[in-house]
Amino acid sequence: MPPILFWFRQDLRLEDNPGLFEAAKNGEVLPVYILDDEAAGEFKMGGASRFWLHHSLKSLDASLGGKLSVFKGNSKEILKGLIAEYGIQGVYWNRCYEPFRIRDDSKIKAELQGVECKSFNGSLLWEPFGILKSDGTPYKVFTPFYRKGCLNAPSPREPLPAPSLTIIGNGVKEDLDLLPNVRWDEKFAWDIGEKQAQDRLHAFLSHGLNGYKEGRNYPDKTNVSRLSPYLHFGQISPNQVWYGAQKSSVQEGPDLDHFLSELGWREFSYSLLYHFPELPRRNFQEKFDRFPWQDNDLLLNAWKKGQTGYPIVDAGMRELWQTGYMHNRVRMIVGSFLVKNLLLHWHHGEAWFWDCLVDADLASNSASWQWVAGSGADAAPYFRIFNPILQGEKFDPEGHYTRRFVPELEKMPLKYLFNPWEAPSNVLRDANVILGSTYPKPIVSMEESRDKALEAFKTISVS
């Protein structure tokens, strides 16, 4: 059987891997991973993602008996060298949808003359070019995209089993230098790999899906799947999650429907990135090009470090730094605070999340930041400004999440936990809190910053 090179990318698994499955059917397989930072350019992986990739490749290599070949450099040149060395007759891979990958994949297919190049869908339930409005244009609003487009399209394919592989190659391992500077491997406590992704799914379906629609808003509850990094790196496929959820004990109702629609939001983000490849850098709504953003490094650094003086915001930013993850409700709170209360460009938030999130994903990150800024597709209105005091009181009602990540306020009574600057001096003293010393004073006034945001929005609302 002819040797086939299978090129692993954002599909670091054996089960339900369409490209690998087809490669195994057609020949002996040379499994390869290539880190091509030059092709990624400004969108090369951040520190937290590199930590995840490091452990992901170790896990995948073990699943392949130590025979995964790992390289760093220009993908096209490395592939050409391997084709010549092993007499490769076919190069198979699963498609990615970042603009730079689409561009480079097209060039590789064109230049690998005499070699069968085949790509497959291994990361989406529905590919972006298959979900269009009746006039052939892409959807810009989520609900019709998902309800009319996706759910009326052919059902996603059923998951595939792991293939029977005959592997060639000795498992070359180039140094990818994935753990520089910040020792992310010492910071984060994640179990990373294909089996661990399945374990996470099963735990969520058993203990988190029931009550998901409401419970997902509370960062101290277990009603979130935490599958996003596994999905991004492809240690589990959306098809496995889609059908796994439907086969769970929660057979129907609002919890299941809402969870499946969250997978739909992931699809919507990829559709936006595919059809509007400038999404990570350009405002989807052009009027925001005129928005009077501020430049203030002091405010930005206080936000990054979780030192804003608003406890729920600080808890979220510290969760991000300490775990490489942030609860989705809190992501919206800290995002709103950055762009609306601090009037700092969403690019700053997008860049910080890109470096610090283990689930950093170009489609979801850019679409979500544009959504919270008000500049994106189907975005939250700019005048919808989250009040971090009320958000904390509503979604962390016992204060467990906030006290976990802001331990300086551990003894603060719940009445003043989210607004400690309003606490009487005796309450602050009893809680061992010295504002401006042990915990910062608010870096902006909530009322004044809200008014400034609304005035700024008016400047771009006039036609």
Start-to-end CA span in the chain (Å): 66
- Asked whether the beta carbons of 99 and 273 are under 8 A apart, the reply is yes
Q: What is the pLDDT of residue 362?
A: 98
Residue 369 annotated to the active site: yes
- CB proximity list for 208: less than 8 A, separation 6 or greater: 215, 222, 223, 224, 225
User: Exactly one of 52, 354, 369, 371 is catalytic; which is it?
Assistant: 369
- CB proximity list for 200: less than 8 A, separation 6 or greater: 191, 225, 226, 227, 230, 236
Residue 265 annotated to the active site: yes
Alpha-carbon distance 155 to 243, whole Å? 11
Encoding tokens for residue 273?
């990135």
CATH architecture assignment, domain 286-461: Orthogonal Bundle (1.10)
Torsions phi, psi for 44 (to 5 deg): -65, 155
Alpha-carbon distance 92 to 108, whole Å? 12
- Asked whether the beta carbons of 7 and 88 are under 8 A apart, the reply is no
User: Exactly one of 346, 352, 354, 371 is catalytic; which is it?
Assistant: 346
Q: What are the strands, taking DSSP E only, across 9-160?
A: 29-35, 69-72, 90-94, 116-120
Alpha-carbon distance 183 to 376, whole Å? 34
Q: Is residue 8 within a helix (H) or strand (E), and if so which, with residue range?
A: strand 4-8
- CB proximity list for 118: less than 8 A, separation 6 or greater: 19, 22, 90, 91, 92, 93
Residue 352 annotated to the active site: no
Residue 303 annotated to the active site: no
Alpha-carbon distance 399 to 412, whole Å? 10
**Packing angle, helices 346-356 and 311-323, rounded to 10:** 40
Residue 346 annotated to the active site: yes
- What 8-state DSSP symbol labels residue 381? P
What CA–CA distances, in Å, run from 280 to 82, 98, 124, 184?
Answer: 33, 10, 19, 25
Q: Helix, strand or coil for residue 308?
A: coil
What CA–CA distances, in Å, run from 136 to 131, 133, 139, 269, 275?
Answer: 9, 5, 9, 18, 12
Q: What is the pLDDT of residue 90?
A: 97
Q: What is the CATH code of the structural domain delimited by 124-158+194-275? A: 1.25.40.80
User: Exactly one of 74, 293, 410, 421 is catalytic; which is it?
Assistant: 293
Q: Class of 4-122 per CATH?
A: alpha beta
Domain boundaries, the chain: 4-122, 124-158+194-275, 286-461
DSSP string, 24-35: HHHS-EEEEEEE
Encoding tokens for residue 341?
């209360």
Encoding tokens for residue 411?
């003894």
Q: Helix, strand or coil for residue 6?
A: strand
DSSP string, 130-183: G---TTSPPP-SHHIIIIIIITTSPPPPPPPPPPP--B-S---B-----S-SS-
Per-residue pLDDT of the chain (463 residues; tens, 9 = 90+): 889 999 999 999 999 999 999 999 999 999 999 999 999 999 999 999 999 999 999 999 999 999 999 999 999 999 999 999 999 999 999 999 999 999 999 999 999 988 999 999 999 999 999 999 999 999 999 999 999 999 999 999 999 999 999 999 999 999 999 986 666 666 788 999 999 999 999 999 999 999 999 999 999 999 999 999 999 999 999 999 999 999 998 777 899 999 999 999 999 999 999 999 999 999 999 999 999 999 999 999 999 999 999 999 999 999 999 999 999 999 999 999 999 999 999 999 999 999 999 999 999 999 999 999 999 998 777 778 999 999 999 999 999 999 999 999 999 999 999 999 999 999 999 999 999 999 999 999 999 999 999 999 999 886 4
Which of 319, 70, 55, 93 minimizes the C-alpha distance to 196? 55
